[in-house]
Amino acid sequence: MAKVFIYPATSLILSDLVARFGHTPLSAAQSIREHIQTAGLESPPLQISPEDPKKGLKYAAVEVPSGVRGRMSLYGPMIEDAEAGIIIHDADLAFGCMGCARTNELIIFLLKKRDIPVLELNYPKTDSEGAEFVAAIRDFLKGLGRSK
């Protein structure tokens, strides 16, 4: 069972397919859960402590907005932990109230920089694309099982 980082990290489709085919999806929910289930001082809404942007410094320089560093403190350790990645490129939902464009660029860059298998896709817009999309993810994840 491999740990697969999914982008967008909040994707329902990727999260489900990775788990369905027997692997562990690394998604935003896990690191957020870890933060909000850790006792400490109140720091709403996500319990991001002053230590987290410091952890983010490992991935982004100090001049970079603290939002990017704060987000990287959630995603960065998961990217390091990942054994594979799946990226959906036309995910507009990853920008706006859900996320940050610069963090997204950095996540994709870091995933590609690591020497791990990465599958790059777009969302399916038709049934036939859906069939190819699911088959591609299944074959990619099956390949991970074989290489281990």
Sites of contact with another protein (CB under 8 A):
8, 10-13, 15-17, 19, 25, 27-33, 35-47, 89-90, 92-94, 96-98, 120-127, 129-139
Q: Whole-number minimum distance, CB 56 to another protein, in Å?
A: 18
Shorter beta-carbon distance to another protein: residue 62 or 122: 122
Query: Tokens standing for 77?
Result: 């350790």
Shorter beta-carbon distance to another protein: residue 8 or 56: 8
Distance, in Å, from the CA atom of 142 to the CA atom of 121, rounded to the nearest integer, reads 17
Q: Which of 79, 86, 59 is nearest to 70 (CA)?
A: 59
Shorter beta-carbon distance to another protein: residue 115 or 127: 127
Q: Whole-number minimum distance, CB 79 to another protein, in Å?
A: 17
Q: Whole-number minimum distance, CB 63 to another protein, in Å?
A: 26
CB 81 within 8 A of CB 3: yes
Q: Whole-number minimum distance, CB 80 to another protein, in Å?
A: 19
Residue 102 burial (CB count, 10 A): 15
Distance, in Å, from the CA atom of 78 to the CA atom of 92, rounded to the nearest integer, reads 22
